[in-house]
């Protein structure tokens, strides 16, 4: 199936490569504000009662570059890189958090046919050492915060000769000495560029490699996905047909990792419309961010964005935070809020709105994200139906759900903004994208299933990447050509609904066969149990030699403290709470009840739960940068606990 091609694609149809997209924007919107970043006056470390240390920032307003000024900086960066020895078709690695300099660098490489190797800043030392060695890069661009890790790993990387680091505004760094490597501050690129403006770049072709994007490694060693200029352009064009009425008047908050292809594609779409992009981070996005000093405003409040992209776990946390805030005000407030949700949900589904309730209740909630957001796109993983409805109602927004992978340049399917079906529905294909289903008999899914066809999802068309970098065997396994169309085997299981939309129902790698031969979807169970306020994240584990599953829970500290208070336990550390047998018993009862409430059957509800005091953050290696669980790493880390749960539960 494929989406109709009738919608406007913002005048991008004649473009052949990404550098033309930016040049077109400069021509049309040169005097408009383009990229912005907040002034940082100072940063300081603040020790929390539990011993954690957070970096806190004192910040001012956004400072903006016009698209004309952006264009000038792109050329200076490119000239500076050429002065340092970078050449067309020579890989350049970028290992840094999302920031304006990241995108400026990307535009400089796209303009001059330099493949940009992107690596998640949270990937871990082994991950980025693998990417650096495999790509054989001589030049690396990183951030000041990442520089110590990169220097420490330098002896394991033989090809690197230059490291260019982006300085922090409020923290000047005296560059350390590293044998055999030239350390250069990013600002130096502008100086070098001014004396090398006669450099000779190379115009890329549509099939030229734009990005070698290393995946977050949720299932093993990170793989480099080779993404071409035509792949990126096709995705940006597709998104233009979905985002409603995007213009130069819109503003977009950029805080997800730019090493994630969905973020690059969405920013490219915003650039094509001449919209403003304000750079942020998960730590400073809202007033309650861990990087925001008391009394300071979060980036969303200052920027007042009209559009943003997020991932399900962020929306789950926003939902839990809103509920906790309402219920903390007392019994009456709790009842009023719940009634308001039910009342507005009824009228919204009937095609109406609730202006009085919006003024009294929901406008205060909308202010968390600046009060001006009208469109939020969510991808990366399935969004549960309860969170989908809750966020739409509370924030009064158009919530777009999408489906895609790095191998499809993030672009595969997207829901229409008028689609109010449940969260597992991901809509129909983007323009020029094809989707078909293939039988997977081992899992019991076939295209002849009733009432609807089911099977492994194959995505085809112009958004499908070229290959995996230096991995021909794996490329042959999942990329294929049929009838002149390039296809990718996703490993996801889909169901084709009568209205032509696609529903994600499973994933091949998430299925586990229990002792009696029943297949259980780990992802489905995790998605349902994650809606419980007690659960920040969860990893379900199944052993085919047993009849039941167990689960590892990363608990929400506040919810766990509230549970402990019910039995008179207070002023205990997170580890003490997680290891208290009575609290574990109460948590287990709560999780089992919630599983039944979510209509999970008996075999789908884990028999034993482990409350994990360790933080599941990207730096721990247990989750990806998009906060998706890294199943193998979690199972390895908690192997002794998993074995103990099975040993203690032989009679379950």
Sign of CA dihedral 297, 303, 304, 308: negative
Please state the rounded mean pLDDT for residues 106-122.
93
Q: What is the mean pLDDT of residues 475-480?
A: 94
Q: Which residue has the higher pLDDT, 418 or 269?
A: 269
The mean-pLDDT minimum among 6-15, 35-44, 265-274, 467-476 falls in 6-15
Residues 621 and 596 in one domain: yes
Lowest pLDDT segment from 270-284, 376-390, 415-429? 415-429
What whole-number distance in Å separates Cα of residue 157 and Cα of residue 91? Answer: 15
Cβ neighbors of 595 (< 8 A, separation 6 or more) are 525, 528, 529, 604, 605, 606
The more confidently predicted of residues 71 and 545 is: 71
Confidence at residue 373, expressed as pLDDT on a 0 to 100 scale: 92
Strand pairing category for 375-378 and 209-214: unpaired
- Name all contacts of 324-331 with Cβ < 8 Å and 24+ positions apart: 324/533, 324/558, 324/559
Q: Where are the beta strands (DSSP E) in 67-158?
A: 92-95, 116-119, 139-143
Average pLDDT over residues 525-552: 89
Nearest by Cα to 384 from 538, 222, 614, 225: 538
Look at 70-79, 316-325, 494-503, 570-579 and tell me which has the smallest mean pLDDT: 316-325
Q: Which of 93-107, 227-241, 379-393 has the lowest mean pLDDT?
A: 379-393
- Distance, in Å, from the CA atom of 375 to the CA atom of 240, rounded to the nearest integer, reads 13
Q: Are residues 433 and 542 in the same domain?
A: no
User: What pLDDT, on the 0 to 100 scale, is given for residue 234?
Assistant: 92
In a domain, 44, yes or no: yes
- Could you tell me the strand order of the sheet in which 209-214 lies? 182-185, 162-166, 139-143, 92-95, 116-119, 209-214, 224-228, 467-468
Question: Would you state the pLDDT for residue 652?
Answer: 44
Q: What is the mean pLDDT of the chain?
A: 88
| pLDDT of 211 above 70 | yes
% the chain with pLDDT above 70: 93
What value does the mean pLDDT take over residues 132-137?
Answer: 94
The C-alpha angle 358, 359, 363, rounded to 5 degrees, equals 70
In this structure, which long-range contacts are made by residues 4-13, counting pairs with CB atoms below 8 Å and at least 24 apart in sequence? Answer: 4/431, 5/431, 5/432, 7/240, 7/241, 7/431, 8/240, 8/241, 9/237, 9/240, 9/241, 9/431, 10/237, 10/240, 10/246, 10/272, 10/273, 12/233, 12/236, 12/237, 12/240, 12/272, 13/237
Q: Measure the CA angle with vertex 55, ends 52 and 57; round to 5°.
A: 145
The CA distance from 549 to 605, in Å, is: 7
d(CA 521, CA 545): 17
Query: In the beta sheet, which residues pair with residue 162?
Result: 139, 182
Provide the pLDDT confidence category of residue 454 given band limits of 50, 70 and 90.
very high
**Higher pLDDT residue, 118 or 13?**
118
Same domain, 570 and 525: yes
Is residue 73 domain-resident? yes
Element at 456 (helix H, strand E): strand 454-461
Q: Which of 56-60, 373-377, 418-422 has the lowest mean pLDDT?
A: 418-422
Both 465 and 519 in one domain: the answer is: no
> Is residue 6, in this structure, part of any structural domain at all?
no
How many other β-carbons are positioned within 10 Å of the β-carbon of residue 443?
18
Residue 4 banded pLDDT, cuts 50, 70, 90: very low
pTM of the shown model: 0.82
Q: What is the mean pLDDT of residues 319-331?
A: 81
Bin 97: left if φ > 0, else alpha if -120 < ψ < 50, else beta: beta
If one compares 511 and 485, the residue with the highest pLDDT of the two is: 485
| 7 within domain boundaries | no
Beta strand segments in 477-525, E: 479-482, 485-496, 502-507, 511-513, 519-521
- pLDDT(6) > 50: no
pLDDT of amino acid 280: 95
| All residues at 6 or more sequence positions from 604 whose CB lies less than 8 Å from its CB, including other chains | 520, 521, 524, 525, 549, 595
Q: How far is it, in rounded angstroms, from Cα 22 to Cα 40? A: 28
Q: Show the domain range for 599.
A: 514-648
Banded pLDDT at 10 (limits 50, 70, 90): low
pLDDT of 424 reads 66
Give the C-alpha separation, 286 to 155, whole Å. Answer: 39
Q: How many CB atoms lie within 10 A of CB 55?
A: 16
When pLDDT is averaged across residues 316-327 and rounded to a whole number, the result is: 81
Q: Which residue has the higher pLDDT, 631 or 206?
A: 206
Going by pLDDT thresholds of 50, 70 and 90, the confidence category of residue 535 is very high
Instruction: State whether residue 110 is helix, strand or coil.
Output: helix
User: Considering only CA atoms, which of 236, 216, 232 is closest in space to residue 224?
Assistant: 216
Tell whether 25 and 164 lie within a shared domain: yes
Classify residue 274: in a domain, yes or no: yes
HSE value, Cβ hemisphere, 13 Å, CA-based, for 410:
29
CA distance 575 to 557: 10
Domain count across the chain: 3
Q: Are residues 533 and 459 in the same domain?
A: no
Task: Decide which of 508, 536, 563 is a domain's last residue.
Answer: 508
Say which CATH number the domain at 91 has: 3.40.50.980
Cβ neighbours of residue 322 under 8 Å, at least 6 residues apart? 365, 368, 390, 394
Domain-terminating residue out of 478, 508, 538: 508
Same domain, 523 and 504: no
The pLDDT of residue 5: 45
Residue 148 within any structural domain of the chain: yes
Q: Where are the beta strands (DSSP E) in 21-152?
A: 33-47, 53-66, 92-95, 116-119, 139-143
Provide the pLDDT confidence category of residue 138 given band limits of 50, 70 and 90: very high
pLDDT at 319: 84
Chosen domain end from 485, 508, 531: 508
Residues 574 and 531 in one domain: yes
Cite the beta strand spans of 473-607 per DSSP E. 479-482, 485-496, 502-507, 511-513, 519-521, 535-542, 549-555
Give the whole-angstrom CA distance, residue 274 versus residue 252.
11
Q: Which residue has 């009060």 as its token pair?
A: 371
pLDDT value for 88: 95
- Residues 611 and 636 both lie in one domain: yes
- The domain spanning residue 336 has which CATH number? 3.40.50.12780
Separation between Cα atoms, residue 405 and residue 260, nearest integer Å: 10
Considering the domain boundaries, does residue 295 fall inside one?
no
> Could you give the angle at the alpha carbon of 553 between the alpha carbons of 547 and 555, nearest 5°?
155
Q: Distance (Å, rounded) from C-alpha 532 to C-alpha 590?
A: 9
Higher pLDDT among residues 68 and 6, named by residue: 68
Confidence grade of residue 216 (pLDDT, cut at 50, 70, 90): low
**What is the share, in percent, of the chain residues with pLDDT greater than 90?**
50
Q: Is the pLDDT of residue 426 over 80?
A: yes
pLDDT in tens, 520-530: 888 889 988 98
Interval 90-101 mean pLDDT: 95
Rounded-to-integer distance, Cα 529 and Cα 588, Å: 11
Residue 293 domain flag: no
Longest Cα separation, the chain: 77
Residues 533 and 584 grouped into a single domain: yes
Which pLDDT value is given to residue 46?
Answer: 82
Cβ neighbors of 623 (< 8 A, separation 6 or more) are 537, 616, 617, 629, 630
C-alpha–C-alpha distance, residues 499 and 82, integer Å: 52
Which CATH number do you get for residue 599?
3.30.300.30
Residues whose CB is less than 8 angstroms from the CB of residue 523 and which lie 6 or more positions away in sequence, other chains included: 382, 506, 507, 510
Let me know whether 143 and 55 are in one domain: yes
Contact 233, 431 (CB under 8 A): no
Q: How confident is the model at residue 336 (pLDDT cuts 50, 70, 90)?
A: confident
500 and 524 within one domain: no
**Using CA atoms, how far apart are residues 641 and 403, in angstroms rounded to an integer?**
34
414 CB burial (10 A radius; 0-12, 13-18, 19+): buried
**What pLDDT digit, counting tens, does each position of 250-285 carry?**
999 999 999 989 999 999 999 999 999 999 998 899
557-565 and 312-327 helices, crossing angle to 10°: 40
pLDDT(649) > 70 = no
Q: Cα–Cα distance between 116 and 119 in angstroms, integer?
A: 10
CB hemisphere CA count around 33 (13 angstroms): 13
């Amino acid at each position: 199936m494929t989406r109709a091609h009738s919608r406007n694609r913002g005048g991008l149809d004649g473009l052949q490569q990404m550098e033309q997209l930016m040049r077109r924007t400069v021509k049309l919107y040169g005097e408009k504000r383009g990229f912005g970043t907040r002034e940082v006056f100072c940063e300081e470390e603040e020790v929390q009662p539990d011993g954690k240390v957070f970096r806190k920032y004192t910040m001012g307003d956004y400072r903006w570059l016009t698209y004309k000024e952006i264009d000038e900086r792109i050329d200076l960066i490119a000239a500076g890189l050429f002065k340092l020895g970078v050449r067309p078709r020579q890989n350049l690695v970028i290992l840094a958090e999302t920031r304006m300099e990241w995108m400026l660098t990307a535009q400089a490489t796209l303009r001059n046919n330099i493949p940009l190797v992107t690596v998640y800043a949270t990937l871990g030392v082994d991950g980025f050492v693998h990417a650096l060695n495999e790509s054989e890069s001589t030049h690396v661009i990183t951030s000041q915060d990442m520089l110590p890790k990169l220097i420490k790993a330098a002896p394991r990387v033989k090809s690197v000769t230059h490291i260019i680091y982006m300085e922090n505004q409020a923290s000047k760094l005296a560059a350390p000495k590293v044998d055999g490597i030239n350390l250069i501050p990013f600002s130096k690129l502008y100086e070098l560029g001014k004396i090398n403006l006669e450099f000779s770049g190379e115009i890329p072709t549509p099939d030229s490699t734009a990005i070698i994007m290393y995946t977050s490694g949720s299932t093993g060693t990170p793989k480099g996905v080779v993404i071409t200029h035509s792949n990126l352009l096709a995705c940006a064009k597709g998104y233009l047909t979905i985002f409603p009425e995007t213009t130069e008047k819109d503003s977009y908050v950029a805080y997800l990792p730019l090493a994630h292809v969905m973020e690059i594609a969405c920013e490219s779409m915003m650039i094509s419309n001449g919209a403003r992009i304000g750079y942020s981070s998960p730590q400073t996005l809202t007033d309650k961010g861990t990087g925001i000093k008391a009394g300071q405003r979060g980036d969303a409040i200052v920027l007042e964005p009209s559009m943003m992209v997020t991932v399900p776990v962020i929306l789950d946390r926003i939902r839990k935070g809103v509920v906790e805030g309402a219920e903390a005000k007392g019994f009456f407030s709790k009842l009023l809020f719940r009634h308001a949700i039910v009342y507005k949900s009824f009228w919204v589904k009937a095609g109406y709105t609730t202006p009085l309730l919006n003024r009294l209740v929901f406008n205060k909630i909308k202010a968390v994200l600046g009060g001006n957001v009208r469109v939020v796109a969510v991808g990366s993983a399935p969004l549960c139906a309860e969170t989908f409805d809750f966020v739409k109602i509370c924030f009064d927004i158009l919530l777009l759900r999408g489906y895609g992978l790095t191998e499809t340049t993030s672009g595969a399917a997207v829901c229409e903004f008028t689609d109010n079906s449940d969260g597992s529905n991901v809509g129909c294909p983007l323009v020029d994208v094809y989707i078909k289903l293939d039988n997977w008999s081992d899992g019991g899914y076939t295209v002849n299933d009733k009432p609807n066809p089911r099977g492994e999802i194959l995505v085809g068309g112009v958004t499908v990447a070229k290959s995996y970098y230096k991995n021909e065997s794996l490329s042959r396994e999942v990329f294929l050509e049929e009838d002149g169309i390039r296809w990718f085997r996703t490993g996801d299981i889909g169901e084709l609904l009568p209205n032509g939309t696609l529903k994600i129902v499973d994933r091949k790698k998430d299925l586990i066969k229990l002792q009696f031969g029943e297949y259980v979807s780990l992802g489905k169970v995790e998605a349902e149990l994650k809606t419980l306020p007690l659960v920040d994240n969860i990893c379900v584990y199944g052993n085919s030699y047993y009849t039941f599953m167990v689960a590892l829970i990363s608990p929400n500290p506040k919810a766990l403290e509230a549970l402990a208070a019910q039995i008179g336990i207070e002023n205990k550390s997170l580890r003490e709470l997680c290891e208290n047998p009575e609290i574990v018993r109460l948590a287990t009862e709560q999780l089992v009840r919630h599983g039944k409430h979510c209509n999970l059957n008996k075999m789908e509800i884990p028999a034993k739960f482990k409350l994990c005091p360790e933080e599941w953050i990207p730096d721990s290696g247990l989750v990806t940068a998009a906060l998706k669980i890294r199943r193998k790493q979690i199972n390895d880390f908690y192997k002794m606990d998993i074995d103990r749960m099975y040993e203690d539960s032989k009679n379950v």
